[in-house]
Amino acid sequence: MKKLYIILLFSLSALSAKAQIEMFDESVQKKETPQILPYDSLRNISTQKYGTPQKYKYTMHHLIGQTLMYCGDPYAYYTRRSFEKGAYYRIDGILPDDTDKGLYHRLKLTNIETGAQTEEGDIFTDKYNYKWVVVGHYDKIKSLYMNKEFVYVGMKDVFVQYDWEKANGMINLDADTVTRSIPEESVWTCVGVKVKPRKKDDGMDTDKRSPVILIFDNPTYGKHYCYLEDNTGKPYKSLLDNTKPLVCGRFQLKSYYDKMKAISAANKAKRKVELTKKFGASNANLILEGIVQIGMTKAMCEESWGTPDDINKSIGSWGIHEQWVYGNSYLYFEDNKLTSIQN
């Protein structure tokens, strides 16, 4: 009887062990994790892709963890949330759209000083760019331009024909009027990076640019300021996409300008011979004009645009990807070849 009991016990144990083995179900599809692009501190507030390569949308997820300063919204007919002008808030998450109230890209916020939690949401989310300033963006612009010398090269890519285009101009800091007779090649120093909140009667209610301004000083013309972005809320573009854009649409870093100027005259012929030997005649001509184009090598691009402000590199099984940062412009390389230009 005892022997029979032992045999039965072993049989039950075997059945129990067998019952714990699970078969792999190949019909279950692998769940893809949504990809969040890193925050690009050269821009203030804009949407970026969020999701999988097959299914994505443009959201604010890349801003989670960033600190914002509230600059006010004088054009609002009424206020949904009570924000303190000049106060700092941390983005703790992205809330679902509340379509019943017409609220999109809702941000879950925490007041840095008080710890009070609130949220932001609006019908038109491009307003975020002038109502809020990302601290990381402000710090980045300050590190790039503060105390640097610039050469004024004109406003070929900026238009100021009417009074409502005042924000596109070089504005006298004391008189708050646009100065139109600034000579080309005058040298200016960036002496300040500040935030200029909107006013109800400033005529900028449809303007989407951020409130970040750069203050420049010149011994003859005094202090002037200009906005970093154009009225669409994006960095000023060059009329020619493959040429290096200008800071505020009118300035070039003096270090870069001097390098390009040194190429001219007697040095230009000598340098053209050297560049032709290295890269061929057609590439040499482009480089001497400060132009880059798809297919160029990193060496060619550096000869054309100079040393980048920053380089972001990623290495994987696909090869080596690099992003070269020139102010508000980017060059993208894959294995030493230029694949994309973004102004």
- Calculate helix-pair angle for 281-288, 298-305, nearest 10 degrees: 30
pLDDT at 187 over 90: yes
pLDDT at 26 over 70: no
Tell me: the pLDDT tens digits for 243-256?
677 899 889 999 88
**More confident: 26 or 198:** 198
pLDDT of residue 77: 76
Counting every residue written for the chain, the total comes to 343
Compute the mean pLDDT over every residue in the chain, rounded to the nearest whole number.
84
Calculate mean pLDDT across residues 228-233: 88
- Look at the alpha carbons of 272, 261, 180, 248 in this order and tell me if their dihedral is positive or negative: positive
User: Residue ranges per domain, the chain?
Assistant: 35-133, 146-238+245-252, 264-342
Helical ranges in 44-176 per DSSP H: 128-131, 135-145
pLDDT at 210 over 80: yes
**More confident: 223 or 163:** 223
C-alpha–C-alpha distance, residues 96 and 104, integer Å:
8
Calculate mean pLDDT across residues 245-273: 82
C-alpha–C-alpha distance, residues 206 and 211, integer Å:
13
C-alpha–C-alpha distance, residues 137 and 32, integer Å:
30
- Calculate helix-pair angle for 298-305, 266-279, nearest 10 degrees: 170
pLDDT at 205 over 80: yes
pLDDT at 156 over 80: no
Helical ranges in the chain per DSSP H: 2-19, 128-131, 135-145, 254-263, 266-279, 281-288, 298-305
CA distance readout (Å), 333 to 48, 282, 312, 322, 323: 21, 20, 10, 5, 6
Q: Which fold has domain 264-342?
A: Beta-lactamase Inhibitory Protein; Chain:B, domain 1 (3.30.1450)
C-alpha–C-alpha distance, residues 101 and 186, integer Å:
52
Calculate mean pLDDT across residues 199-228: 93
pLDDT of residue 159: 65
pLDDT of residue 7: 54
